[in-house]
Amino acid sequence: MKALVGAVLIGQSGGPTSVINASALGCIETAMASANVTKVYGAAHGIKGVLNDEIYDLTQEDPAELSLMRYTPSSVLGSCRYKLADFMVDDTDYKRILDIFKKYDIRYFFYIGGNDSMDTSSKISSYLSQHDYECRVIGIPKTIDNDLAATDHCPGYGSAAKYIATTFMEVSRDAKVYDRGSITVIEVMGRNAGWLTAASALAGIRYKDHGPDLVYLPEVPFDMSNFLSDVSRVYEEQGDVLVAVSEGIKDKNGTYIVSYFSDQTKEKDAFGHAKMGGLAANLAEYANAKLKAKVRGIELSLLQRCAAHLASATDVEEAYLAGKAAFEAAESGITDKMITFEREPGEIYKCKTGLVDLVEVANAEKKVPREWINDAGNGVLQPFIDYALPLINGEVDRPTENGLPRFARLKRVKAGSAE
Amino acid sequence: MKALVGAVLIGQSGGPTSVINASALGCIETAMASANVTKVYGAAHGIKGVLNDEIYDLTQEDPAELSLMRYTPSSVLGSCRYKLADFMVDDTDYKRILDIFKKYDIRYFFYIGGNDSMDTSSKISSYLSQHDYECRVIGIPKTIDNDLAATDHCPGYGSAAKYIATTFMEVSRDAKVYDRGSITVIEVMGRNAGWLTAASALAGIRYKDHGPDLVYLPEVPFDMSNFLSDVSRVYEEQGDVLVAVSEGIKDKNGTYIVSYFSDQTKEKDAFGHAKMGGLAANLAEYANAKLKAKVRGIELSLLQRCAAHLASATDVEEAYLAGKAAFEAAESGITDKMITFEREPGEIYKCKTGLVDLVEVANAEKKVPREWINDAGNGVLQPFIDYALPLINGEVDRPTENGLPRFARLKRVKAGSAE
C-alpha cells in the first residue's frame, strides 16, 4: 500500500473522563514520530472546532507539557455534544468539514468519544469517501459509562469505577461511625447502563460492610415498594444501610424514578437524553419515612468522571495504547474503524487492541448482562466482580506540585496563525 | 514526680476525618511501649462506650493491623455526638464514668475530637479530680473545620483541604470543557468557619482558571443581589463561572441562605446545630435565572471528610504526632490540656506541638480572619494561601490491594471478655 502523507487531526467529544487526554497523547506522540505526518492538529471542542475553523497546531506545543496530558482529566482540546445531520438530508456541515480538511490537508482524522462520536466519525468517513477525498478515519473509544458495543470495556471506565469503589469504601466507614442508625443513598452516573453503579460493589470484595448493601441498576425495573422493603430488611438486620443507585433507574413502564420527585426530566440535552439529578436525597427520605434513621443522599456528580488523582494505572495505560493503536492502524491503511479491547482468556488479566466497524458501534449500547445481576435485582454477582476488578488496578504516579496535581497547560496556537 | 501506673483509655468523638485514626494510633503505639501502662483500651463510640461499658482491649489486636489505622478514615472505634450535662446539675453520667474508670483502672484518658469533645474532656477531668480519682486527661485536636482556638491548625483540616482543592481543580477542567457557558456551584462543609471553603482557592494558585472564580465564606454576610451581580459579571467576562460556597453562609440578619430555599434548618442535631444541605443547586439555579447557562450544583458532602486516599502526608504525620505527644505529656504528669500546633517563623514550614488548657478550647471557635478575605467578600487573599498551602503538602504512600484501599479491620475484643 502506498503511504498516505498529510496532516493529522484529533478531536475529543462527549463527556469528560480521567483518561481521554491519555488517548489523545498516545495518538499525538505516535503521529509526531511518523515520517508520513506533516502536521498534528487538534480541533477545539471536537467537530465544532472543525466547523468553526478553530484548529490548534499541536506541533507548537512543548513536548514535556504535552506529556502531562497523561494525567490531566477532561478534554484539553475542549469537547462538544454536537449531532451532525444525515448528509442525505442536509450536507451543510459536511461541505464545511471537507473544506477545512482540504485547507489543512487532513489525511488522518481521529475522534475520541462514545457512541454518538462514533456515529459522527462514521458519517464524516462516508461523506469524505463519497467525495473522493482520501482520509483515514479511526474512532478511539472513551466513556465512563462503558456502554460501547464490540469492545470488552472502554477507556475511562476503569478510573471512574476505581473512584466509585474507593469512595464507597470511604463513605461506608463514615456512614457507619455512629451508633445511631443511618440510611445513606449514593447516586452514580449511568442513564441506561449500570456499569458505573455496579462498580460500587467492588468496595465490598474484602469486607462486605465496606461496600453497598443494595445496588440498583437501570437494567432492572425499579419498584418503590421492593426498595422500601429491601431497605427496611437490611436496616432491621444491621442498623444501617448503604445504597448505590443509578441516576437512570426506571419503573416497569420506563418512567424515570427521579421524575416521581420532580419534573426535571422534561429538560433534554442536544441528543434527546433526559437530564438527571436529585434522586439520592429523595430516595433516602422516602426509605426513612417509617425508620427515623439518620438520612443522607449523596450525588457523586462530576467528581466521578474527572477524578484523575485516583485514575486506574491500567486504564491510563490502555487509554494511551488505544490512541497509539489508532494512529498505527490508520497509517497501515485502515479506515472507518474504532479501536476495541479484547480480553485474552486465562486467570491473569491481559488485553490487546482490536478493530470494529464504526457503524457497528454508532448508537448501539451495551448493558450489564442480566445474569450478572442477582434475581432480586438489588445486587451484582461474581462474574461482574471478575470482569471489573482488573480494570481498576494500579495506582498512577502522577506529577504533583505543592501537594496539588500538575495538569497540562497547552499554548493552543491557532493553526491559521502559524501559517 | 511519681510515675502513674495504670490503664490507658482512648475515645474518638465528633465527625470523621481522614486522620483521626492516625492520632489514635500515635497515642496507642506510644502508650503500648510505656512501662507505666498496664492496658490500652478503646471506647466504642466515644464517651457513650464508657457509659455503656463497651470497651475494647486494644492489646489483643494484631499490631500490623493496628498500623493500618494511619491510612484508614473515620473513627475505627466508632464516634458519637453526646453532650454531657453540667455535673452540678446532673451527675448521673459522671458517676457512671467514674465507676467504669475504676473498674478498668483507667489512669490516662485521651479524647480525640473538636471543641465539643474538649468540653466533654474538661468536665470529666474536673469531676474525676473533685472525686480524688487520679487520672490524666489530654485532648487530641481533630476537626476538618479547623475551628479550634489556641492552635495554628487542626489535624484533619489539611487532608480535607487537599481533597477540596484537588476536586476544584478537576471539576474546573470538567466544567469548562464545553464552549457553551456554564455556572457551577460547589458547596463545601463549614457551618460557622470558612476554612474549608477557603481551601478551594488553593486550586487556583498556579493557574487562576483551575480554581473558583468566587468564594463565599460564612465569615462575611451573604447578599443575594451581590451574588447575582458577581456571577453575572464573571460570566460576562469569561463565559463560565465556578463558585465555592460554604454550607453555612448567612445573610446580615444571621439567617442561613439555605433556608431561603427550604425549611430544613428546622431540624437540629444533638448539639443544637442546624442541619444543612441542598444549597449549591438552588444557588446555581438562582444565579442562572437570566443567564440561560448550563447549570450544576455539587455538594461535596461526606466525601470531603473521609477521602483518606487523598490525605495530606503532612496532616497524617502531624495527626500521629499529636497522639504521641498526648501520651508523652500525660506520662510526664500533665493533665487537663489539649495538644496544639505551633508554627515556627520562617519561610520553610515547620510545626511543633504545644499545650493549652482544655477549658480554653471548649466551645470556642476560630474563624478565618476578616483581613484574609477580600473587601468584596467573594475571595480569599495571599495570607490565607500562605497559611494553608503547607498543610496540604505531600502524598501518602497508603497500602492498596486490588486497586482499592486496605483499611484497618480491628477484632474489637470486649475488655470484659478478656478478663
Instruction: Write down the pLDDT at residue A263.
Output: 52
User: Residues of chain B with pLDDT > 90: what percent?
Assistant: 87
**What sign has the CA pseudo-torsion A265, A81, A93, A151?**
negative
Mind listing the pLDDT tens digit for each residue in B111-143? 999 999 999 999 999 999 999 999 999 999 999
Instruction: Write down the pLDDT at residue B272.
Output: 53
Helix (H, G, I), strand (E, B) or coil at A223: coil
**What sign has the CA pseudo-torsion B371, B374, B380, B382?**
negative
Measure CA of the first residue to CA of the last residue in chain A; give whole Å.
31
Q: Could you tell me the pLDDT band of residue B261, with boundaries at 50, 70 and 90?
A: confident
Residue A167: which of B81, B177, B303 has the nearest Cβ?
A: B303
**Record: contact B409-A207, CB cut-off 8 A:** yes
More confident residue, B246 or B178: B246
Asked if the C-beta of B50 comes within 8 angstroms of chain A's C-beta atoms, the answer is no
Asked if the C-beta of B400 comes within 8 angstroms of chain A's C-beta atoms, the answer is yes
- Helices in A289-367 by DSSP H: which ranges? 303-306, 313-331, 358-361
Q: Could you tell me the pLDDT band of residue B278, with boundaries at 50, 70 and 90?
A: confident
Q: Is the predicted pLDDT of residue B194 greater than 70, yes or no? A: yes
The DSSP symbol for A79 reads B
**Contact pairs from chain A to chain B, CB under 8 Å:** 169
How high is the mean pLDDT of chain A? 94
Q: Active-site residue numbers of A?
A: 145
A140 CB-contact burial (10 Å; exposed 0-12 / middle 13-18 / buried 19+): buried
Instruction: Write down the pLDDT at residue B276.
Output: 45
The DSSP symbol for A378 reads S
Give the pLDDT mean for B331-343. Answer: 98
Instruction: Write down the pLDDT at residue B259.
Output: 87
Asked if the C-beta of A404 comes within 8 angstroms of chain B's C-beta atoms, the answer is yes
CA distance to partner chain A, nearest, from residue B48 (Å):
9
Give the pLDDT mean for B209-231. Answer: 97
Among all residues of chain A, which has the CA nearest to that of B168? A303
Instruction: Write down the pLDDT at residue A2.
Output: 76
A303-335: b or e for each residue (b if 16 or more CB lie within 10 Å)? bbbbbbbbbbbbbbbbbbbbbbbbbbbbbeeeb
Give the Cα separation of A331 and A311 in Å (integer): 30
Instruction: Write down the pLDDT at residue A59.
Output: 96
Instruction: Write down the pLDDT at residue B179.
Output: 85
Query: Within 10 A of B75 (CB to CB), how many other CB atoms are there?
Result: 30
Mind listing the pLDDT tens digit for each residue in A109-144? 999 999 999 999 999 999 999 999 999 999 999 999
CA distance to partner chain B, nearest, from residue A394 (Å):
5
Q: Could you tell me the pLDDT band of residue A272, with boundaries at 50, 70 and 90?
A: low
Give the pLDDT mean for A154-168. Answer: 98
Mind listing the pLDDT tens digit for each residue in A341-365? 999 999 999 999 999 999 999 978 9
Asked if the C-beta of B122 comes within 8 angstroms of chain A's C-beta atoms, the answer is no
CA distance to partner chain B, nearest, from residue A279 (Å):
12
Give the Cα separation of A357 and A186 in Å (integer): 37
Among all residues of chain B, which has the CA nearest to that of A81? B178
Between residues 319 and 378 of chain A, which touch chain B (CB distance below 8 Å)? Answer: none
| Among the listed residues B210, B318, B68, the one whose alpha carbon sits nearest the alpha carbon of residue A76 | B210
User: Residues of chain A with pLDDT > 90: what percent?
Assistant: 87
Q: Is the predicted pLDDT of residue B167 greater than 70, yes or no? A: yes
Q: Could you tell me the pLDDT band of residue B418, with boundaries at 50, 70 and 90?
A: very low
CATH code, B159-307: 3.40.50.460
**Does domain A6-155+309-363+393-418 bear CATH number 3.40.50.1370?**
no
Among all residues of chain A, which has the CA nearest to that of B403? A393
Query: Which class is domain B6-155+309-364+393-418?
Result: alpha beta
The DSSP symbol for B202 reads G
Q: Write the CA distances from B350 to A350, B152, B314, B386, integer angstroms.
A: 47, 11, 10, 13
Q: Is the predicted pLDDT of residue B419 greater than 70, yes or no? A: no
Asked if the C-beta of B13 comes within 8 angstroms of chain A's C-beta atoms, the answer is no
How high is the mean pLDDT of chain B? 94
**Record: contact B173-A74, CB cut-off 8 A:** yes
Instruction: Write down the pLDDT at residue A1.
Output: 67
Give the Cα separation of A245 and A264 in Å (integer): 18
Give the Cα separation of A271 and A250 in Å (integer): 19
- Give the length of chain B: 419
Residue B302: which of A203, A298, A409 has the nearest Cβ?
A: A298
CA distance to partner chain B, nearest, from residue A376 (Å):
27
Task: Give the residue range(s) of CATH 3.40.50.450 domains in chain B.
Answer: 6-155+309-364+393-418
Any idea of the CA torsion for B282, B283, B289, B295, to the nearest 10 degrees? Answer: -80
Q: Could you tell me the pLDDT band of residue A269, with boundaries at 50, 70 and 90?
A: very low
Mind listing the pLDDT tens digit for each residue in B234-253? 999 999 999 999 999 999 99
CATH code, A160-305: 3.40.50.460
Give the Cα separation of B271 and A291 in Å (integer): 22
The DSSP symbol for B274 reads B
With both helix axes pointing from N to C terminus, report the angle between A279-288 and A224-238 in degrees, rounded to the nearest 10.
70
Residue A177: which of B16, B179, B202 has the nearest Cβ?
A: B16
E strands in B102-181: 106-113, 136-141
Asked if the C-beta of A405 comes within 8 angstroms of chain B's C-beta atoms, the answer is yes
Asked if the C-beta of B24 comes within 8 angstroms of chain A's C-beta atoms, the answer is no
Between residues 55 and 74 of chain B, which touch chain A (CB distance below 8 Å)? Answer: 72-74
Task: Give the residue range(s) of CATH 3.40.50.450 domains in chain A.
Answer: 6-155+309-363+393-418
A-chain residues near B310 (CB < 8 A): 309-310
B-chain residues near A301 (CB < 8 A): 296, 298-299
Instruction: Write down the pLDDT at residue A363.
Output: 79
Give the Cα separation of B23 and A110 in Å (integer): 51
Phi-psi region of B162 (alpha: psi -120 to 50; beta: other; left: phi over 0): alpha
E strands in A35-100: 37-43, 55-57
Q: Is the predicted pLDDT of residue A266 greater than 50, yes or no? A: no
- Residue whose cell numbers read 457557558: B181
Asked if the C-beta of B397 comes within 8 angstroms of chain A's C-beta atoms, the answer is no
Among all residues of chain A, which has the CA nearest to that of B393? A403
Structural contact between residues A367 and A219, judged by C-beta atoms closer than 8 angstroms:
yes
CA distance to partner chain B, nearest, from residue A138 (Å):
22
Give the pLDDT mean for B67-72. Answer: 98
A73-109: b or e for each residue (b if 16 or more CB lie within 10 Å)? bbbbbbbbbbebeebeeebebbeebbebbeebebbbb
Q: What DSSP string describes B16-28?
A: --SSHHHHHHHHH
Q: In what order do the strands lie in the sheet with B182-188?
A: B214-216, B240-246, B182-188, B294-299
- The number of CA neighbours under 13 Å toward the Cβ of A403 is 26
Instruction: Write down the pLDDT at residue B336.
Output: 98
A-chain residues near B314 (CB < 8 A): 403
**Record: contact B174-A203, CB cut-off 8 A:** no
Determine phi and psi for B367, rounding to 5 degrees.
Answer: -105, 170
Mind listing the pLDDT tens digit for each residue in B354-400? 999 999 999 789 999 999 999 999 999 999 999 999 999 999 999 99
Q: What DSSP string describes A379-411?
A: SB-HHHHHHHGGGG--B----EETTEE------
Residue B177: which of A79, A207, A277 has the nearest Cβ?
A: A79
CA distance to partner chain A, nearest, from residue B239 (Å):
14
CA distance to partner chain A, nearest, from residue B37 (Å):
28
CA distance to partner chain B, nearest, from residue A44 (Å):
9
Measure CA of the first residue to CA of the last residue in chain B; give whole Å.
31
Give the Cα separation of B232 and B249 in Å (integer): 20
**Record: contact B45-A207, CB cut-off 8 A:** no
Q: Could you tell me the pLDDT band of residue A262, with boundaries at 50, 70 and 90?
A: low
Between residues 229 and 288 of chain A, which touch chain B (CB distance below 8 Å)? Answer: 277-278, 281
Cα angle B162, B270, B154; round to 5 = 25
**Record: contact B178-A312, CB cut-off 8 A:** no
Mutate to test the interface with A, among B159, B179, B292 (most CBs of A within 10 A): B179
Task: Give the residue range(s) of CATH 3.40.50.460 domains in chain A.
Answer: 160-305
Structural contact between residues A394 and A158, judged by C-beta atoms closer than 8 angstroms:
no
Instruction: Write down the pLDDT at residue B402.
Output: 97
Between residues 85 and 104 of chain B, which touch chain A (CB distance below 8 Å)? Answer: none
Give the pLDDT mean for B35-58. Answer: 97
A-chain residues near B162 (CB < 8 A): 403-404
Determine phi and psi for B223, rounding to 5 degrees.
Answer: -120, 120
The helix or strand, by DSSP H or E, that contains position B96, with its residue range, turns out to be: helix B92-104
Instruction: Write down the pLDDT at residue A355.
Output: 98
Q: Could you tell me the pLDDT band of residue B2, with boundaries at 50, 70 and 90?
A: confident
Mind listing the pLDDT tens digit for each residue in A183-211? 999 999 999 999 999 999 999 999 999 99
Asked if the C-beta of B45 comes within 8 angstroms of chain A's C-beta atoms, the answer is yes
**Record: contact A174-B401, CB cut-off 8 A:** no
